């Protein structure tokens, strides 16, 4: 039986859950936000100190990107997550841009936020958030120019999973800000999710696997 240590609202955890659903793979979910013991278990399994962590048979893997690439290789008979052929380059570039957005705002709003009173902070914030905003704007332009609801011509893929979870995470922030200090700090950065990405995501909000994320 597979086990996924996850944070329910994390875009990294959510995209791993959507990948497992796309593959049709059952998995026990262990909410590391609700149970600190699960965090400790996950940290003993992989050295990353990050969530999600997937346990599948004799394999324990961290990092959502590595997990999702591995799932395609471990379960080649199940629906593909990463498209092949000419769509592969676009899918990989979309996924990379999503990670630039997430890493930029998460790092600036959490790991580096305690430095906000330092004289260097304005420059650091401008660089990190500016890079994230540039990547998000590029994603918005791509989404607007696709002419279809998915990145790949063959349909739903990891690239769409990356984008959808990005959009849902940012859209959830106002409602979560009252109880989550990290979310408030990220909002303070001034990053703006392009409207084109929310519009693109409208085509996927009704999917059963997306609704199951909660």
Q: What pLDDT tens digit does each residue of the chain (214 aa) get? A: 899 999 999 999 999 999 999 999 999 999 999 999 999 999 999 998 899 999 999 899 999 999 999 999 999 999 999 999 889 999 999 999 999 999 999 999 999 999 999 999 999 999 999 999 999 999 999 999 999 999 999 999 999 999 999 999 999 999 999 999 999 999 999 999 999 999 999 999 999 999 999 8
Q: What is the CATH number of domain 87-211?
A: 1.20.1050
- Global pTM value: 0.96
Are residues 124 and 179 in contact, defined by beta-carbon separation less than 8 angstroms? no
**Burial letters 17-42, b for 16+ CB under 10 A, else e:** bbbbbbbebebebbebeeeeebbebb
Helices (H), 146-178: 158-176
199: CB partners within 8 A, 6+ apart:
143
Q: What is the DSSP string of 99-145?
A: HHHHHHHHIIIIISGGGTTSTTHHHHHHHHHHHHHHHHHHHHHHHHH
Say yes or no: do domains 3-74 and 87-211 share a fold.
Answer: no
What fold characterizes domain 3-74? Answer: Glutaredoxin (3.40.30)
Domain parsing of the chain, residue ranges: 3-74, 87-211
Using CA atoms, how far apart are residues 65 and 123, in angstroms rounded to an integer? 30
């Amino acid at each position: 039986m597979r086990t996924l240590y996850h944070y329910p609202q994390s875009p990294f955890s959510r995209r791993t859950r959507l990948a497992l659903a796309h593959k049709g793979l059952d998995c026990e979910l262990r909410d590391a936000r609700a149970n600190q013991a699960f965090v400790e278990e996950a940290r003993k399994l992989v050295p990353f100190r990050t969530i999600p962590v997937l346990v599948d048979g004799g394999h324990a893997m961290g990092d959502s990107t590595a997990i999702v690439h591995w799932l395609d290789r471990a379960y080649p008979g199940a629906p593909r997550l990463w498209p092949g052929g000419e769509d592969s380059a676009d899918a990989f570039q979309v996924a990379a841009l999503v990670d630039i957005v997430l890493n930029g705002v998460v790092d600036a709003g959490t790991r580096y936020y305690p430095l906000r009173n330092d004289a260097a902070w304005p420059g650091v914030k401008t660089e990190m958030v500016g890079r994230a905003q540039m990547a998000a704007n590029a994603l918005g332009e791509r989404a607007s120019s696709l002419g279809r609801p998915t990145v790949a011509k063959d349909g739903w893929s990891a690239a769409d999973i990356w984008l959808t979870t990005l959009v849902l995470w940012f859209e959830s922030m106002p409602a979560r800000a009252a109880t989550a200090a990290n979310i408030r700090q990220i909002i303070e950065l001034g990053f703006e999710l392009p409207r084109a990405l929310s519009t693109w995501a409208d085509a996927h909000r009704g999917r059963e696997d997306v609704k199951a994320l909660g």
